Amino acid sequence: MRWDSRLKYIFLLPTVIWVLCFTMFPLFYSLRLSFFKVNINQPSVFLGFGNFVRAFRDPNVWNAARVTLTFVLVGVAIQLILGLLFALLFNRKLPARGVLRTIMTLPLFATPIGIGYMFITIFHEEGGFIRASLGSRIPWLSNPDWALVSVIMVEIWNWTPFVFIVLLAALQNIPEEYYEAARLESSSPWEMFRYITFPIIQPSIILVLILRMSEAFKVFDIPFALTSGGPGISTQTFSMLTFDTYRRFFDFGYGSALAYLLLLVVSVIVTMFFGRIRQAYR
């Protein structure tokens, strides 16, 4: 083998080492931990699938699953609807359209932890911006239901611009000739959206759903910063429960089992949607 043909493997070596050390090793090591009861300064005890059975009997797990599922279904659905509406709006000729598009994308550049702490000053019931400007006495962060609504609202504000960017790019790739031909048959905007726009951008919509749902199932930073999972455990997502199992209780085996359950759920959902994308492109 000539030296120049070996050179490509030398350049790939740092990436391979990185993946093995920081991805594959933690992945398989945590899988091993999930079958053990691990206590600090004590020998590990093999439990088999005991940690997974415990998870299905744990009411905190079911509460975290309910909160996460509500967060995903409501949050992602509203993000998709708003992102599509904004994309349709900004695909038209508007005054200062470029500036407005730039403003729309600004939330994406803020760190989620910083966003969470920023919205504490907005939702605070005594000296917050909403209380000071609107006089609202809604218990945004102290009531369990309103706290979940607050977390979902912040997530929508943060990630709707991502949906908007992807769908706007998809809309701009539709040839104008399709609409010109359609106007000869019908002038209804709804019919043109139904029979031209939506079928063409459908793969992009499914792609956005995959990306947002897979990330929303793993959400941690905004609920952690905004409510810390409270009041009580009303906004504790599955990722936060897994984190607390590790950090507060040092139950590494059970925490690893919870992490793998979440990985399994996300993998199944992503696989289903990828199958739908393949069908859409056939």
3-class DSSP state of 41: coil
Q: Which residue has the higher pLDDT, 266 or 8?
A: 266
> Residue 231: is the preceding peptide bond cis (ω within 30°)?
yes
The amino acid present at 40, given as its one-letter code, is: I
Superfamily assignment of 58-281 in CATH? MetI-like (1.10.3720.10)
Q: What is the pLDDT of residues 187-227, one digit of tens each?
A: 688 888 888 888 889 888 988 988 898 889 988 999 999 99
pLDDT digits (tens, 9 = 90+) for 65-100: 999 999 999 999 999 999 999 999 888 887 877 888
Contact 259, 188 (CB under 8 A): no
Q: Which residue has the tokens 């911006």?
A: 129
CATH 1.10.3720.10 segments of the chain: 58-281
Helix (H/G/I), strand (E/B), else coil: 219: coil
Tokens standing for 268? 């199944």
The answer, yes or no, to whether residue 2 has pLDDT greater than 60, is no
Three-class SS state of 46: strand
Q: For the segment 218-237, what is each residue's pLDDT rounded down to a tens digit?
A: 889 999 999 988 888 999 99
Are 44 and 38 within 8 A, CB to CB?
yes
